[in-house]
């Protein structure tokens, strides 16, 4: 009876080996300590009222970034374990991990880094900056924004729970069938993977709709599309990709779940299923996903380079055209992930050529950034260092990508470490460097003080050198024939030296991360010395710098119409005398709501129940969600108004 | 809130709902694509021409198409501010929707008890998932309609309720269009392979 109530869940599900147990225990201890600290300092209520239930995009953005940075540490721990394993597991020595554990670790590493680090940092930065950049007071659908964040958090919890209860998927970050089908992965690992991504993916889709509408409908009067800052443009393109790509992920994950849970035959080896259909579907989402992540990073660099070069961005229109071209092309290249599937020469040739074509708009962007720097008065602040590191890594990775776009070459290096090195060069050297640059650049806007420059430089150099040390050997190993996802290899292959270099590289990256943690601590401690009183610490060009740092909860007291690009720069140049008496108006803002937390909580319950086949709890989760949505829909007063007099008082206090 | 800002806010929400519908469209597109790939993967079991009864499906289709018509009449009545007609037309819409859903579920039941469940073949997996996802959307629409009608009963046709009704109608018509594709691709192509 009791066993039935808990589905597949039993004591066997809890960890028994030392490494998992260590990870699980440390997670529980840290979680409990944090909770205890909040309880002890009586901050739980404050946390709930000021943060968890907030619909202010600036606060939601901070929560995204916090979650993503914590997950970055987890992903780095996984990466270090893999590097140590491959550096030591050679010949008669078998390293720290057994094969199954190693597979779970690389699956978790990929999944966490893409969905919970890169996506989290991206949505965090969009929430924090995009509304300010278009001169708006809020996003289009603030409640949806909160739901999206909490769904993201619920997915994150689910994936980390797999470390404590049960196991994680051992089928790689994209869980190709038939390996990921019930016949070959009977445990709960793949189900954890499916439901963590399904829940977080639903959140991403909601965010995509929200930000798309925000940019198209809520810009400051006078800001035409071709006046928008390039970060906003890149977000617009990225959100178009989200809107068209994420439903495919939802559908594909649902089909895999139906195969595993209800015995369907979409992708099974028997019953008339078609595993290659999964590979097509998942990459029809997966390839746009890469661009969803990298376009905002391009946008960040397009803000940083002009600011720190004291010049207008070179070739604004061609930058926008390149973004749109990449947006379109990213939908017609997905097959290059599996040239070896055997779709035939014609099909491979088409996708190969389309892939090479993407190098053109990307090249346009890199050259435009260079031309922006040309004869500029460049200030080598940390964000600029990240940019220059990016140019090096991104060009190396891009060249490797164009090589692999040739199907004949791809047949040689498919699923080798050459490929692993390529996409890490793009994702770390492109996306992560970009987001780090963005976080450093906009940190004063978010918290009101700048980050410590010296430690930032140390962190950059450790990351940059460590990154090259870690991945250049992988390019070489790939060409030597080393395949990805190996937990062991023969000593006679002569690979160990390069693997040891790669492990040292990861060590240096970890040191860089240590510097970043230190940078954060030191900056918080010394914040009084680095306060940004002007709201414009870098002599910026776009509207987010026209309000105070940090921005007030209503972002801007006045919706003064703007004209032209680099609106704030123009205002500063014009040195317009402020109007005798600003005409404030009432501002309507959304009230806090805890329903986002509850919706995600019920989604978490439903996901956990389906993973463990606890069939009474799954409908509970579903009905909970429906009830919350209805409660929200019944609320006719979701907003409150701040009167013009109050705004005037607040503005006088800030001046 | 002034009238113009309220109009802008309504337009913004409706535009957002359009974008949502497009995402749903992509979801259905991936299910249609999967169905197209698997429609001949019967794995030795029955194909569409042995399983589907066209007169039955035609009645089902007509019920749904007609419900779209009554939903349209209901929305027109809402624009005129006629509460009683709104409640009436949408009640008819709900009944037709329920009829459609019942017919679909009884078709599913019949297939399953005859040994043609979703476990039988790739084709039937794709069939149940595509048609069932549409059915799940119809169910969502019916719940939404029930809640919103209760609210209109209480409050009358306020501007917020009109906005909600507009979105509900868009959703309902969207499901109608999806069904036309299901009718064509699953059923018509199914009986004439």
Residue A273 region, left (φ>0) first, then alpha (ψ -120 to 50), else beta?
beta
Q: What is the rounded CA–CA span in Å between residue A561 and residue B14?
A: 25
Which chain A residue's Cα is nearest to B18? A209
Q: CB neighbours of A377 closer than 8 A, spacing ≥ 6?
A: A309, A310, A311
Give me the residue from A217, A281, A641 closest to B12, CB to CB: A217
- pLDDT tens string A604-643: 999 999 999 999 999 999 999 999 999 999 888 889 999 9
Residue that wins the pLDDT comparison between A618 and A11: A618
User: Per the structure block, which two tokens stand in for A236?
Assistant: 């617009």
Average pLDDT over chain A, rounded to an integer: 94
Q: CB neighbours of A524 closer than 8 A, spacing ≥ 6?
A: none
Q: How many residues appear in chain B?
A: 193
B chain contacts of residue A254, beta-carbon cutoff 8 Å? 129
Q: Which residues of B touch A (CB under 8 A)?
A: 1, 5, 8, 11-13, 15-16, 19-20, 22-27, 29-31, 33-34, 37-38, 41-43, 118-123, 125-126, 128-129, 143, 147, 151, 160, 164
Residue that wins the pLDDT comparison between A319 and B8: A319
- pLDDT tens string A134-145: 999 999 999 999
Answer whether A256's CB lies under 8 Å from A170's CB: no
Q: DSSP readout, A234-289?
A: HHHHHHHHHHHHHHHHHHHHHHHHHHHHH---SS-SSTT--HHHHHHHHHHHHHHH
Residue with tokens 């943060």: A51
B chain contacts of residue A590, beta-carbon cutoff 8 Å? none
- pLDDT tens string A21-57: 888 888 889 889 989 998 898 889 999 999 999 999 9
User: Per the structure block, which two tokens stand in for B155?
Assistant: 């409050």
Q: What is the rounded CA–CA span in Å between residue B100 and residue B63?
A: 6
Give me the residue from A243, A266, A588 closest to B1, CB to CB: A588
CB contact under 8 A, B118 and A255: no
CB contact under 8 A, B121 and A588: no
Q: How confident is the model at residue A544 (pLDDT cuts 50, 70, 90)?
A: very high
Using DSSP's 3-state secondary structure scheme, residue A640 falls into strand
Q: How confident is the model at residue A530 (pLDDT cuts 50, 70, 90)?
A: very high
* The pLDDT of residue B2: 66
Answer whether A498's CB lies under 8 Å from A473's CB: yes
Q: How many residues appear in chain A?
A: 655
CB atoms within 10 A of CB A240: 20
Q: CB neighbours of A570 closer than 8 A, spacing ≥ 6?
A: A562, A563, A564
Q: What is the rounded CA–CA span in Å between residue B52 and residue B111?
A: 9
- pLDDT tens string A410-447: 999 999 999 999 999 999 999 999 999 999 999 999 99
B chain contacts of residue A259, beta-carbon cutoff 8 Å? 125
CB contact under 8 A, A274 and B122: yes
A chain contacts of residue B24, beta-carbon cutoff 8 Å? 247
Per-residue pLDDT at B82 exceeds 50? yes
For residue A291, CA distances in Å to A1, A106, A223, A234, A620 come to: 50, 22, 26, 10, 37
CA distance A322 to chain B (A): 24
Which run of H or of E encompasses A653? helix A644-654
Per-residue pLDDT at A578 exceeds 70? no
CA distance B110 to chain A (A): 18
CB contact under 8 A, B119 and A263: yes
Which run of H or of E encompasses A639? strand A639-642
Residue that wins the pLDDT comparison between A13 and A331: A331
Q: What is the rounded CA–CA span in Å between residue A174 and residue A194?
A: 10
Per-residue pLDDT at A655 exceeds 80? no
For residue A504, CA distances in Å to A9, A593, A645 come to: 40, 47, 61
Average pLDDT over chain B, rounded to an integer: 95
Which run of H or of E encompasses A625? helix A617-634
Answer whether A480's CB lies under 8 Å from A495's CB: yes
How many A/B residue pairs have CB atoms within 8 Å? 114
Using DSSP's 3-state secondary structure scheme, residue A531 falls into strand
**C-alpha torsion angle, residues A95, A97, A103, A105 (rounded to 10):** -110
Range of lowest pLDDT (A193-202, A335-344, A645-654)? A645-654
Check CB contact of A284 with chain B, cutoff 8 Å: yes
Percent of chain B at pLDDT > 90 equals: 94
* The pLDDT of residue B25: 97
* The pLDDT of residue A271: 94
Give me the residue from A218, A251, A626 closest to B31, CB to CB: A251
Identify the bridge partners of residue A587 per DSSP, sorted by sequence position. A642
Percent of chain A at pLDDT > 90 equals: 88
Check CB contact of A524 with chain B, cutoff 8 Å: no
Q: How confident is the model at residue A17 (pLDDT cuts 50, 70, 90)?
A: confident
Q: How confident is the model at residue A1 (pLDDT cuts 50, 70, 90)?
A: very low
Using DSSP's 3-state secondary structure scheme, residue A181 falls into coil
Furthest-apart CA pair in chain A: how many Å? 82
Sign of the alpha-carbon torsion through A287, A288, A293, A299:
positive
Q: What is the rounded CA–CA span in Å between residue A442 and residue A300?
A: 10
Helices (DSSP H) in A374-495: which residue ranges?
382-404, 407-413, 417-426, 433-447, 453-479
Backbone angles phi, psi at A589, to 5 degrees: -130, 155
Write down the pTM of the prediction: 0.97
Residue with tokens 């959307």: B137
CB atoms within 10 A of CB A56: 24
Answer whether B168's CB lies under 8 Å from B141's CB: yes
- pLDDT tens string A157-190: 999 999 999 999 999 999 999 999 999 999 999 9
Q: What is the rounded CA–CA span in Å between residue A652 and residue A339?
A: 63
Using DSSP's 3-state secondary structure scheme, residue A489 falls into strand
Beta strands (DSSP E) in A441-600 are 587-590
Mean pLDDT along residues B9-27:
96
Of A529, A489, A606, nearest to A196 by C-alpha is: A606
Residue with tokens 């003064």: A560
Of A97, A281, A257, nearest to A193 by C-alpha is: A257
Give me the residue from B27, B122, B128 closest to A271, CB to CB: B122
- pLDDT tens string B102-158: 999 999 999 999 999 999 999 999 999 999 999 999 999 999 999 999 999 999 999
Mean pLDDT along residues A71-92:
96
Check CB contact of A243 with chain B, cutoff 8 Å: yes
Q: What angle do CA A379, A384, A389 make, to 5 degrees?
A: 135
A chain contacts of residue B41, beta-carbon cutoff 8 Å? 265, 272-274
Per-residue pLDDT at A575 exceeds 80? no
Omega within 30 of 0 (cis) for the link into A63 = no
Q: What is the rounded CA–CA span in Å between residue B78 and residue B82?
A: 6
Q: How confident is the model at residue B181 (pLDDT cuts 50, 70, 90)?
A: very high
Of A489, A283, A469, A495, nearest to A393 by C-alpha is: A469
Mean pLDDT along residues B73-81:
96
Q: What is the rounded CA–CA span in Å between residue A414 and residue A549?
A: 48
- pLDDT tens string A471-515: 999 999 999 999 999 999 999 999 999 999 999 999 999 999 999
Check CB contact of A264 with chain B, cutoff 8 Å: yes
Helices (DSSP H) in A112-219: which residue ranges?
119-133, 142-164, 189-217
CB contact under 8 A, B34 and A259: no
Helices (DSSP H) in A540-594: which residue ranges?
567-574
Q: How confident is the model at residue B24 (pLDDT cuts 50, 70, 90)?
A: very high
Of B19, B17, B25, B15, nearest to A240 by C-alpha is: B19
Mean pLDDT along residues B33-52:
95
- pLDDT tens string A208-266: 999 999 999 999 999 999 999 999 999 999 999 999 999 999 999 999 999 999 999 99
User: Per the structure block, which two tokens stand in for A648?
Assistant: 């005037």
Which run of H or of E encompasses A642? strand A639-642
Which chain A residue's Cα is nearest to B120? A271
Per-residue pLDDT at A325 exceeds 70? yes
Identify the bridge partners of residue A641 per DSSP, sorted by sequence position. A588
* The pLDDT of residue A421: 97
Q: What is the rounded CA–CA span in Å between residue A424 and residue A118?
A: 12
Give me the residue from A243, A262, A266 closest to B19, CB to CB: A243
CB contact under 8 A, B125 and A259: yes
């Amino acid at each position: 009876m009791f066993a039935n109530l808990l589905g597949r869940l039993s004591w066997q599900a809890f960890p028994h080996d030392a490494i998992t147990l260590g990870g699980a225990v440390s997670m529980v201890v840290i979680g409990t300590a944090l909770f205890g600290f909040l309880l002890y300092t009586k901050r739980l209520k404050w946390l709930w009222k000021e943060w968890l239930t907030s619909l202010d995009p600036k606060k939601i953005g901070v929560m995204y970034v916090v979650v993503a940075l914590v997950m970055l540490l987890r992903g780095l721990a996984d990466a270090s374990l893999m590097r140590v394993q491959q550096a030591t597991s050679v010949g008669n020595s078998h390293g720290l991990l057994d094969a199954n554990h190693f597979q779970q670790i690389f699956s978790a590493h990929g999944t966490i880094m893409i969905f919970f680090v890169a996506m989290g940092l991206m949505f965090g930065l969009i929430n924090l900056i995009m509304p300010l950049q278009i001169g708006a007071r809020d996003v289009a659908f603030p409640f949806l924004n909160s739901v999206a964040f909490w769904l993201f958090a619920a997915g994150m919890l689910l994936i980390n729970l797999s470390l404590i209860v049960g196991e994680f998927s051992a089928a790689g970050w994209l869980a190709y069938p038939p390996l990921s089908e019930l016949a070959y992965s009977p445990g709960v690992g793949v189900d954890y993977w499916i439901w963590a991504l399904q829940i977080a993916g639903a959140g991403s889709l909601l965010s995509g709709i929200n930000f798309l509408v925000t940019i198209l409908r809520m810009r400051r009067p006078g800001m035409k599309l071709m006046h928008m800052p390039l970060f906003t443009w890149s977000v617009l393109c990225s959100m178009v990709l989200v809107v068209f790509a994420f439903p495919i992920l939802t559908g594909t994950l649902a089909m895999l779940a139906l195969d595993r849970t209800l015995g369907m035959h979409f992708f099974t080896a028997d019953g008339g299923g078609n595993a290659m259909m999964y590979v097509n579907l998942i990459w029809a989402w997966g390839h746009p996903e890469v661009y969803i992540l990298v376009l905002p990073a391009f946008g960040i660099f397009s803000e940083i380079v002009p600011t720190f070069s004291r010049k207008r961005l070179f070739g604004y229109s061609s930058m926008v055209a390149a973004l749109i071209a990449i947006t379109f092309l990213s939908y017609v290249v997905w097959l290059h992930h599996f040239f070896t599937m055997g779709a035939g020469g014609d099909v491979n040739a088409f996708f190969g050529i389309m892939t090479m074509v993407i190098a053109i708009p990307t090249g346009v962007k890199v050259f435009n950034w260079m031309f922006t720097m040309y004869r500029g008065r460049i200030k080598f602040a940390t964000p600029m260092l990240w940019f220059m590191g990016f140019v090096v890594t991104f060009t190396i990775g891009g060249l490797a990508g164009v090589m692999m776009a040739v199907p004949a070459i791809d047949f040689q290096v498919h699923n080798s470490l050459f490929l692993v090195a390529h996409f890490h060069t793009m994702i770390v050297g492109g996306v992560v460097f970009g987001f780090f640059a963005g976080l450093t650049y906009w940190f004063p806007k978010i918290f009101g003080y700048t980050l410590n420059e010296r430690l930032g430089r140390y962190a950059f150099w450790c990351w940059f050198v460590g990154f090259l040390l870690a991945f250049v050997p992988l390019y070489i190993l790939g060409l030597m024939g080393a395949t990805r996802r190996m937990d062991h290899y023969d000593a006679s292959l002569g690979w160990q030296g390069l693997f040891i270099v790669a492990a040292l590289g990861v060590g240096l990256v970890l040191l860089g991360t240590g510097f970043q943690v230190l940078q954060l601590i030191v900056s918080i401690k010394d914040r009084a010395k680095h306060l940004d009183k002007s709201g414009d610490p870098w002599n910026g060009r776009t509207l987010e710098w026209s309000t105070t740092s940090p921005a007030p909860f209503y972002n801007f007291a006045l919706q003064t119409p703007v004209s032209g690009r680099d609106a704030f720069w123009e205002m500063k140049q014009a040195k317009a005398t402020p109007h005798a008496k600003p005409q404030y108006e009432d501002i309507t803002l959304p009230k806090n709501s805890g329903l986002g937390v509850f919706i995600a909580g019920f989604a978490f319950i439903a996901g956990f129940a389906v993973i463990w086949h606890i069939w009474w709890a799954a409908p509970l989760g579903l009905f909970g969600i429906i009830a919350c949505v209805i409660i929200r829909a019944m609320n006719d007063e979701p907003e409150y108004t701040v009167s013009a007099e109050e705004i005037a008082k607040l503005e006088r206090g800030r001046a | 809130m002034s009238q113009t800002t309220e109009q802008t806010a309504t337009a913004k929400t409706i535009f957002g709902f359009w974008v949502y519908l497009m995402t749903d469209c992509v979801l259905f597109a991936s299910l249609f694509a999967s169905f197209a790939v698997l429609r001949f993967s019967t794995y030795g079991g029955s194909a569409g021409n042995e399983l589907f009864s066209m007169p039955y499906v035609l009645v089902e289709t007509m019920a749904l198409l007609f419900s779209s018509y009554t939903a349209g009449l209901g929305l027109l009545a809402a624009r005129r501010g006629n509460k009683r007609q709104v409640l009436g037309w949408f009640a008819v819409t709900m009944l037709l929707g329920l009829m459609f859903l019942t017919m679909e579920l009884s078709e599913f039941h019949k297939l399953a008890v005859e040994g043609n469940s979703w476990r039988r073949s790739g084709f039937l997996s794709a069939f149940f998932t595509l048609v069932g996802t549409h059915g799940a959307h119809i169910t969502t629409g019916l719940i939404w309609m029930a809640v919103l009608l209760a609210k209109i009963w209480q409050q009358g046709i306020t501007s917020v309720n009109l906005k909600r009704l507009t979105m509900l109608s868009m959703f309902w018509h969207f499901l109608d269009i999806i069904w036309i594709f299901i009718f064509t691709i699953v059923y018509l192509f199914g009986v004439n392979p």
